[in-house]
Amino acid sequence: REDCEALDWWYYADENSTLRVHTFTWRQNGRLVDFTIVFLVPGPGREEELERIDCSHGHCHLHPRNGTCTGLVPIDTIDDVQRAYDMSEAIAQDRVRILQEGGSP
């Protein structure tokens, strides 16, 4: 990540500003090499992480609030990172819906 261009952005996923989605990306020579999508809620004194989607150990993972870790897709090449990110954006929208309904996987 040291030689990468880091970018992050966030949005509130609900009208009451109680669910925030924060995305971090790292690019090298214009190509996506890593990302994390974090789902946050207000907590005492600071926000608390509910869930996240990230890349590590050669896989894209979903870490839901129940403490499990689900491998979503293997990452073997740099092109796989972009494909995993595209898939993760769709999964993030579904996770927002589930979290707004008070559910978990």
* pTM, two decimal places: 0.88
Task: Please state, in angstroms and as integers, the Cα–Cα distance from residue 77 to each residue in 16, 27, 59, 81, following that order.
Answer: 40, 14, 11, 7
Indicate whether 105 pLDDT > 60. no
Q: pLDDT tens, 22-66? A: 999 999 999 999 999 999 988 888 999 999 999 988 999 999 888
Q: pLDDT value at position 72?
A: 92
Q: pLDDT value at position 104?
A: 53
Containing 97, the helix (H) or strand (E) segment is helix 78-100
Q: pLDDT tens, 63-99? A: 988 888 889 999 999 999 999 999 999 989 988 888 7
